[in-house]
Structure 1
Amino acid sequence: WWYVLIVGVGALLHPALSFNTSRCQNVSSTEGTVHPAAAQGAGPYRDSVLLPRTEFPMKLTGQNLIDREVQIQQECGFAELYSWQRERKAKKEYCLHDGPPYANGDPHVGHALNKILKDIQNRFEMLRGKQVHYVPGWDCHGLPIELKALGELGTSGLSPLQIRQKAREFAEGAIARQRAAFQRWGVMADWDKCYYTFDGTYEAAQLKVFQDMHSKGLIYQDYKPVFWSPSSRTALAEAELEYNPQHVSKAIYATFALATLPPKMAEAVGELGSISVLVWTTQPWTIPANQAVCFMPNAQYSVVKRRDSSQLLLVATERVSSLATLLSTELESVGTFTGTELEGGVCQHPTIPKKEVPLLPANFVTMGKGTGLVHTAPAHGMEDYSVASHFKLSVECIVDEEGRFTELAGPELQSLSVMGEGNDTVISMLKAVGSLVKEEECVHSYPYDWRSKEPVVIRPSKQWFIDIASLKDKAKEVLAKVRVIPESARGSLLAHLDRRPYWCISRQRSWGVPIPVFYHKETGEPLINKHTVSHVTQLFSEKGSDCWWELPLESLLPPEVLKKVSHPGEVTDYERGDDVLDIWFDSGTSWAAVLGGEALADVYVEGKDQIGGWFQSSLLTSVAVQKRAPYKALMIHDFVISEKGEKMSKSLGNIVDPDTVIHGGEDPSVSPAYGVDVLRWWVAESNVFSEVQIGPNVLNSARDSINKLRNTLKFLLGNLQGFDPRTQAVDPKEMHYIDQYLLHLLRNYSMKMTDAYNDFGAGRAIRLLQAFITRDLSKFYFSIIKDRLYCDPEDSLGRRSCQTVLEEILDGVTRSIAPILPHLAEEVYLHAPGHNEGETLFRSGWIKSSPVWRRPGLEEAVEGACAIRDSFLSSIPGRNAAEYELTIEIEPGLLFELIESLQDEPTSSSSQLTELMMSSQTTLTSALPRDLPADALISNGSFLINLEGGVIREDSAYQVAAVPTSMARCPRCRRYTSSSPDCPCPRCQTILTRAQ
């Protein structure tokens, strides 16, 4: 009471006051419904009603839709937008560095998902006033392009330069098709200034990174096991593997007889007889390359006797029970030892007479499968190689580049495929000498070449490597400062780092950036240093990397460069290397070639396959050279799948072509033309952090959502016909309270939209849009204001107040959806009032909202009235509110003062309160009259007002009495405010009189 008496209603509506309220419920209405005044047919008053008028089409379909989108791109300067914003003054720059798509095929929906996601963010940042740095690029080298370019020709008889020429032509064709698609999708960029990894300037920047890393000792040449693809005849990096979880191997259990017992075992078992070590492997072909059998030092091992054969086997104690079941016999323990007590034991190799191999400790031995003793072939296993390095074991390769046994494997195996006949032959050899204990099929995950889809092998070869171990700790340190979206992906990024002790960066192909190394013809020693690399880098910058094969050796390694090298010899003593760099090193150095200098990208946005690919290679090369990550944030999306949840493939016939989505297929009834904005809506609406589905149902839903949005926009445009906000806008302080309230809601909407886009939340932005349109506009505001829009005088304060708000809503909604639907946004802007011809939305900024729109006191007044209206409407379900007169009783207090601000006189048929109630007439009182009619409908409720953080709280009760109106329906406005059915109501009479 004291508060009301002192400050009054005026102070309650002051923006500084804060109210905590519940949102008002909504009435069931949409902007598509027709106001009664609009349904008069050819009645005598039709021409006096201000019905919506606009040339903006409700719906565009087929070729009309396609033509309109292309027309908008041309009229609104889509092609020039990126250059325009780069030239304008801006306080901040926003850099989204484009991960290069691979130039080996046509554009697909995966491209659409990625490129449109990036474009949505770039357009938002540009609208917010930032200068966007976005240079599209393509990854142009690599085996897939080389193989597709050569087709059935193969490499037989073709020189490296001929191969490179065909590969370049193929890549350029793919780039042209992809670039045209990206432009059609409305992706904002300067498409004449893209980057390509086969450009000489790009290659030169890449070699500078290579030289920097080499000078720091991070790049070195070594002979060690690498993943090798027999089908592609080249080394592969971890990122170039696909793991097939359904690969079937012939797994075996085999014995290695103990030629020399470990001292502790010899003491314990005495004269029991011959003991054999039992091993398990899924790669029997590697047995001929065995150099040791490894055990876990801190595990326990047992010598067991088979009940069915009395054979003595050494196995891990933990595995005895499982092995007994597997072998279908009892295993009796005759001695138990710790792993360390096995040291000193020596085994007889089962297939190579007179060859003995030691028992050695290794921490990588596990007890989950097998026997707890691991057959170790250092030439054909990464962990096996680490044992060989520590114990100085031989690392001898017995497999050639085609995946066949060499002569070192022996005459019985030579030339046999290790993954086929060679594997079977080794099993037969083990069986012949009595070493094969059991053979079984094993389904497990196995690495495949990501291009040829064929299994790989591990074999040693002389390659160039990056020492990941030296970079790993620093990479983890800087990665901790990078924002990862979603955060759940951080663990995968770290796991990929942990799995990589080194990175093989050399490839035995022609289509790529040559490793700038020369080899001494006699010694084979490599010649590579800052002088030789700098010279080659300069040549690449000027001529491109083809010059590695085009120029004579004297130009690549001139005498003046050779003189700078210790003990140089003559140029003729050397020959150029044949290897090229891994394409992940190509793309991983894009930060140096595209961003340059100290530039740092705000974000990288790519699919989850880049967790082990471009994200990693970019991080490692940048940490090596700059000691920091090249990005502030990573946004990682998932893959696109069919509507049935299947991976897309030609064999299943479920591939969705983005070009068909946009332009339609041969049968429009099956594949209609959806247009670009439907494709963009699909991207924005999808939960991109899980598998993204696409198909007819999803696309139809997107189209329907856009058409509903068009319906709202058409309503707004239609009611703004003839209104110019520059000269006819009403000051917010003079507006009707309901209009001021909508500005308050619009401001909240704009702030939430900004937050959503800032968090890469395009899907959240769509949900905010739909909620705002459905709840705040269609079901609430539009249903209330139609009478004022259609039937008030054209220049009246009430109508202009409403139009001012509608123009702000139109502008705010259009700008808020512009990053997602740029074609629709610009189309609306062409029809919208308030700007000069030739202006475009994207050159005019983000949503404009004013702090003065924040009116907490006003919010309380309107939402209190809404609560009262909800009680009234619930008492007349299914009936027309306009047919009732209301009496609203509110006990004296704060709520009464607020509601009284909406109605100056006790009873009114034209007050703002009556407009909100949508009734014929409203009476506001502090006590219901005693003589209410018998047919009065009584409803009641309460509304909580919470002021200044709870310092003042008031829960006010109210009652609403609704009685059928005694007034007649006005033939013009169709409200029950007339004294006679044939006579217009007083308001309409005044308007008609003025019109005469």
Structure 2
Amino acid sequence: MLLCRVSTVTQAVARWGRRSHRGSGLLHPALSFSSSRCHGVSSGEGNAQPAEAGPAQGQYRDSVLLPRTDFPMKLTGQKLLDRELEVQRECGFAELYSWQRQRKAKKEFCLHDGPPYANGDPHVGHALNKILKDIRNRFEMLRGRQVHYIPGWDCHGLPIELKALGELGTSGLTPLQIRQKAREFAERAIARQRAAFQRWGVMADWDNCYYTFDGTYEAAQLKVFQEMHSKGLIYQDYKPVFWSPSSRTALAEAELEYNPEHLSTAIYATFPLGTLPPKLAEADVGSISVLVWTTQPWTIPANQAVCYMPNAQYSVVKRADNSQLLLVATERAASLAVLLGTELESVGTVTGSQLEGGICKHPTIPDKEVPLLPANHVTMGKGTGLVHTAPAHGMEDYSVASQFKLSVVRSISVSGLSAYLCVELLALVISMLKACGALVKEEHCVHSYPYDWRTKQPVVIRPSKQWFINTASLKDKAKEVLQKVRVLPESARSSLLAMLDRRTYWCISRQRSWGVPIPVFYHKESGEPLINKHTVSHIAQLFKEKGSDCWWELPVETLLPPEVLKKVSASQGCNYVRGEDVLDIWFDSGASWAAVLEESDSRADVYVEGKDQIGGWFQSSLLTSVAARNKAPYKSLVVHGFAVSEKGEKMSKSLGNVVDPDTVINGGKDPGAPAYGADVLRWWVAESNVFSEVQIGPTALNSARDSINKLRNTLKFLLGNLQGFDPRTQAVDPKEMHYIDQYMLHQLRDFSIKVTDAYSEFDASRAIRLLQAFIARDLSSFYFSIIKDRLYCDPEESLARRSCQTVLEEILDGVTRAIAPILPHLAEEVYLGETLFKSGWIKSSSVWRRPGLEEAVEGACAIRDSFLSSIPGKNAAQYNLTIAIEPGLLFELMESLQEEPTSTSSQLTELMMAAQTTLTSQLPRDLPPDALRSSGNFLINLEGDIAAVPTSAARCPRCRRYTAESPDCLCPRCHSILSAP
């Protein structure tokens, strides 16, 4: 089928040439038509068993056109796996992406792939993400767009370095040796993940992916770095950073995870007020001490201030047990009294703003004074409402220091940091506070605390000389451009904006070997950095040619560009050494837009990642793009949830609830772990509400498998009844079709529009719901039930039968294409041969839209529902039906379905599924006593009456309709067919 669908004939030729599962014979003993069923009840298409037939019926069996196809209703075990792999080979899954890149297309659709981390085996989180992307890519390709999708991997970073080194450690290894081992580890992980993504049916050119350790990528990354540095956005400073003692490196906030069960030693300590605030001085109540609470006692030596909330109320309280006067927040006083085991009598109150001017004495450092300062980060949930402030060891503390020009003093040197949060210093500080009488209370406190997400060990905040990005200056522009980005779900936008608000600076330097070196040189004596556009551009070119290993392989004289080298070594030779820090991997991946998107000013149509990337790749990509080119790198963001166990629990090996996608596809050793195949995995992704947590387990997978088998049943019925049908020569023009057939084309068009909208909205689950509703309601329970007599028993070449087959052909094509983005293996199995994906999306002709005809058919359906409800549990085919409608619109609509007053073969009779139908303006007066009557509103409030009378006609031994004169006689229709020459 040509992509542009030049003509219906062309499409029909393409479909006919590729369909492989149509039979050529007339009979298949395992398939038969079924009797009529009520609207809303499954007709069991394709799998009905033939009813018991007497001698008379058996002799006509060969004259009935029953479905025939070798398309299997169900595939299991190794047969399923073999069929999927066969489909991938024969339908060119591996070449499809390259093919569509070479074709001409008016529009491009760019989904920029966020790089998965190359440090382990593929997991269901990968499956959720990659399949979700592939569904959208395949849909866009089907509807004629040229898809730009280059898979990539994030290859640097500490987890890879640690896993690569294993138990060897870094002792005695050079940076180049460490890098070589890390690269080898990453390459092995990439190979495993790539193979899995291909097995899942993900469409891409897998021989041309992007890798953050590739020299070309690293060069593009350094160009972004240089652009930001030239704008003054990248700078070196001495600031508090998250420091991981276990990893021995600085961390960014995105590299943290918070442990809500962290146990700290918290203390209440007093800071004597040396200079009272004016309001308290007027009260002249005596010596007052400020009571502070902290979960980080080891930082007390670095204290530079005590902060209060400006708009809160504070009280001076007197301890009943020792008469000590303490300053605390008024709303915390009651809780503190219980904690201290004594009454606290209020002797005066002030507002927070009236504490201005107060100066405390540091409890452990003689002669050191610390001011009382206002701060908005002070809260009243715990503690005393007065916060110990050490700018070297807290981000909010540092903000206060910046505002009030306080110095940054650290408690301990870098070498003194231990993996246990400075336990020795903690004990020392507590001992000092006890000695000077400042320790009021010591307690254990369980609270949320940041951990290194790689080593799962606690971090500390400590000052360090690092490289930073000034995100505060980017924040407003980033928020502005983010407002123009479409976010799905919209609720994620507030999280994105909140993350930007919280991030005042971004530490981008790491003290490791496996990463992209920060292109800076330091003077051997002064330590001053040497970095400018000439040095960065020169190094970027070297990385492009040789890879970043050359940073360690080449002498400094080669790493410096000639013009710079000439200046810095004019007198005594080169006095510079290369830096030892590498870039944060979030900067690595955040610059991917510059390395992967084809044009420097281009934006991806969409980024699709999990919600953890709200503070990760989504944000680092936004900040680098806004900094370098003043625009977002994406037009849309899709934020999906995480894969969790069937009980909603996070997957972990310790809980034994990890679902391995390889086991899902190929089966496991456990008998309860069958081989589901890749399409079941894909259906699970598509059917889930991906904007929340996505549960996976036997229940979800079995449900997906059952849904696909029901779909196969429908496809088998369609294929079986298209036996011998050649749309090139036998298709019927819609204008000549039966009305019910035209109506189904109308419904198919409506379905195709809705399912197209669903895919366009990244809502594959809605596409599935639409598909299932269309099959269950419009096809199985309605259309298939009605047409079986016409399909099986009308003359093979009759207009009525060909009309029906033409519609079945369109339905098969529409349903197959509708499922193709989700189930590419099944869709290609229907069209085994030249790939379906090269022939376009669902055809939806405006000619199929027939609103007037829709009213006629749906009016008849309303009458039919009334008729069927009047004979519950009985066979409609055994009744003669009289429909009485007053002359008018509804009557005219029914006349279009039955021109003669009474008929056993009209379209109205077919719809009613009755033996005979009479259309009249009023019910006859001489209805028999056993007539079943009902009335109701059938269409636009028009009323009518119906009467159902058991037919006196006999059952035809060939078609099994009650239209024969006697049990052994054929009905007129069947007699005519069999007596024809």
TM-score range (shorter-chain normalised) is over 0.9
For 1:525-540, what aligned pairs fall within 5 Å after superposition? Answer: 525-540=528-543
Distance in 1, Cα, partners of 2:635 & 2:571: 48
Alignment of 1:250-269 (within 5 A): 250-269=265-284
Establish whether residue 890 from structure 1 lines up as the match of residue 885 from structure 2.
yes
Is 1:31 the counterpart of 2:33? The answer is no
- 2:7 alignment counterpart: none
Q: Which moved more, 1:920-929 or 1:769-778?
A: 920-929
Q: Does 1:715 align with 2:701?
A: no
Aligned to 1:772: 774
Q: How does 1:226-265 map to 2 (within 5 A)?
A: 226-265=241-280
Deviation at 1:400, TM superposition (A): 4.1
SS in 2 for 1:572: coil
Q: What is the CA-CA distance between 1:215 and the residue it aligns to?
A: 0.4
Q: What letter is aligned with 1:854? A: R
Instruction: Give aligned pairs, total.
Output: 942
Distance 1:40 1:814 in 2: 39
Q: Does the residue aligned with 1:95 lie in a helix, a strand or coil?
A: strand
From 946, 955, 969, the equivalent of 1:983 is 969
Of stretches 882-891 and 357-366 in structure 1, the one that deviates more from structure 2 is: 357-366
Q: Counterpart in 1 of 2:396?
A: 383
Q: Distance between the aligned counterparts of 1:43 and 1:364, measured in 2? A: 88
Quick one: distance in 2 between partners of 1:569 and 1:219?
30
Which of 327, 338, 344 is matched with 1:314 structurally? 327
Aligned match of 1:909? 904
Deviation at 1:490, TM superposition (A): 0.4
Match of 2:834 in 1: 839
Shift of 1:316: 2.6
Shift of 1:37: 7.7
Match of 2:980, SS state, is: helix
Once the two structures are superposed, the pairs formed by residues 584-663 of structure 1 within 5 Å of their partners are: 584-595=586-597, 596-663=599-666
Larger CA deviation: 26-35 vs 600-609: 26-35
Residue in structure 2 matched with residue 755 of structure 1 by the alignment: 757
* Cα distance between partner residues in 1 of 2:205 and 2:91: 15
Pairing 1:467–2:470 present: yes
State how far apart, in whole Å, the 2-side matches of 1:958 and 1:575 are.
96
Distance 1:569 1:717, change over 3 A: farther
Q: Which residue of 2 aligns with 1:16?
A: none
1:957-996 residue CA offsets vs partner (Å, 9 max, x unmatched) = 111111111111101111011111111111111111126x
Answer yes or no: is the 8 Å Cα contact 1:38–1:46 preserved in 2.
Answer: no
2:68 is the counterpart of 1:73: no
Of 734, 742, 749 in structure 1, the residue corresponding to residue 736 of structure 2 is 734
SS in 1 for 2:67: coil
Which residue is 1:923 aligned to? 918
- 3-state SS of 1:647 partner: coil
Residues 22-58 of structure 1: CA deviation (Å, up to 9, x unaligned):
xx95455331463878967981011000010001111
Q: What's the % identity of the aligned pairs?
A: 82
Aligned residue for 2:873?
878
Structure 1 residue 213: deviation in Å?
Answer: 0.3
- Report the Cα distance in structure 1 between the residues aligned to 2:622 and 2:278, rounded to whole angstroms: 50
**Which residue is 1:329 aligned to?**
342
Structure 1: distance between partners of 2:817 and 2:279: 81
* Amino acid in the other structure paired with 1:555: T
Which digits, 9 at most, give the CA deviation of each residue in 1:686-708, with x for residues without a partner?
A: 00111100000100000000000
1:172-321 superposed matches below 5 A:
172-269=187-284, 272=286, 274-321=287-334
Matches within 5 A, 1:547-566: 547-563=550-566
Q: Is the 8 A contact 2:515 2:582 kept in 1?
A: yes
d(CA) in 2 for partners of 1:927 and 1:261? 102
Provide Cα deviations, 1:282-301, integer angstroms capped at 9, x if missing partner.
Answer: 11111122122223344443
Matches of 1:488 and 1:568, distance apart in 2: 60
Q: In the TM superposition, what are the counterparts of 1:151-190 in structure 2 within 5 Å? A: 151-190=166-205
Q: Provide, for residues 776-834 of structure 1, a one-character-per-residue CA deviation record: whole Å limited to 9, x for no partner.
A: 0000000000000001111011110000000000000000000000000000112xxxx
Q: Secondary structure at the match of 1:329?
A: coil
Considering only aligned residues, what root-mean-square deviation do their CA atoms show, in Å? 1.8
- The whole-number CA distance in structure 1 between the counterparts of 2:434 and 2:53 is 94
Cα distance change of structure 1 residues 337 and 727 upon mapping to structure 2, 3 Å threshold:
same
Give secondary structure in 2 for the equivalent of 1:799. Answer: helix
Counterparts of 1:418 and 1:87 in 2: how far apart (Å)? 58
- CA shift for structure 1 position 929: 1.1
Alignment partners' CA distance in 1, 2:346 and 2:41: 82
1:957 to 926, 943, 955: 943
Report the Cα distance in structure 1 between the residues aligned to 2:648 and 2:475, rounded to whole angstroms: 37
1:276 is displaced (CA, Å) by 1.5
- Cα deviation digits, residues 531-569 of structure 1 (max 9, x gap): 11111111001000000000011100144233467x986
SS at the partner of 2:140? helix
Q: Secondary structure at the match of 1:225?
A: strand
Letter in 2 for 1:228: W
Distance between the aligned counterparts of 1:888 and 1:188, measured in 2? 56
- 1:149 has 2:195 as partner: no
The residue aligned with 2:585 is 583
Shift of 1:303: 2.3
Structure 2 stretches of 5 or more lacking a match?
Answer: 1-37
Counterpart in the other structure of 1:136: 151
- What is the rounded CA distance, in whole Å, between the counterparts of 1:560 and 1:602 in structure 2? 42
Tell me which of 660, 671, 678 is aligned to 2:673: 671
Pair 1:113 & 2:128 matched: yes
1:685 is matched with 687
User: How far apart are residue 399 of structure 1 and its match?
Assistant: 3.1
Cα 1:26–1:222, aligned 2, differ >3 Å: closer, same or farther?
Answer: same
Match of 1:446 in 2: 449
Distance 2:649 2:63 in 1: 59
Q: Distance in 1 between matches of 2:578 and 2:216?
A: 21
Q: Secondary structure at the match of 1:94?
A: strand
- Can you list the C-alpha shifts for 1:636-682, whole angstroms capped at 9, x where unaligned? 00000000111100101110000000000123x31100000000000
Structure 1 segment 454-533 matched on structure 2, within 5 A: 454-533=457-536
- Native 8 Å contact 1:417 1:423 kept in 2: no
In structure 2, the residue corresponding to 1:487 is in which secondary structure?
Answer: coil
Measured after TM superposition, the shift of residue 373 of structure 1 is 1.7
Query: Which AA in structure 1 matches 2:879?
Result: Y
Query: Structure 1 CA distance, aligned partners of 2:260 and 2:270?
Result: 28
Distance apart, 1:368 and its partner CA = 3.3
| C-alpha deviation, 1:930, in angstroms | 1.1
What pairs with 1:792-803 in structure 2 (closer than 5 Å)?
A: 792-803=794-805
Could you tell me the TM-score, scaled by structure 2's length? 0.94
- Give the conservation status (yes or no) of the 8 Å contact 1:300–1:337: yes
Please give the alpha-carbon distance, in whole angstroms, between the structure 1 residues aligned to 2:893 and 2:389.
85
Q: Residue 364 of structure 1: SS of its match in structure 2?
A: coil
Task: Give structure 1 stretches of 5+ with no counterpart.
Answer: 1-23, 406-414, 831-837, 946-954
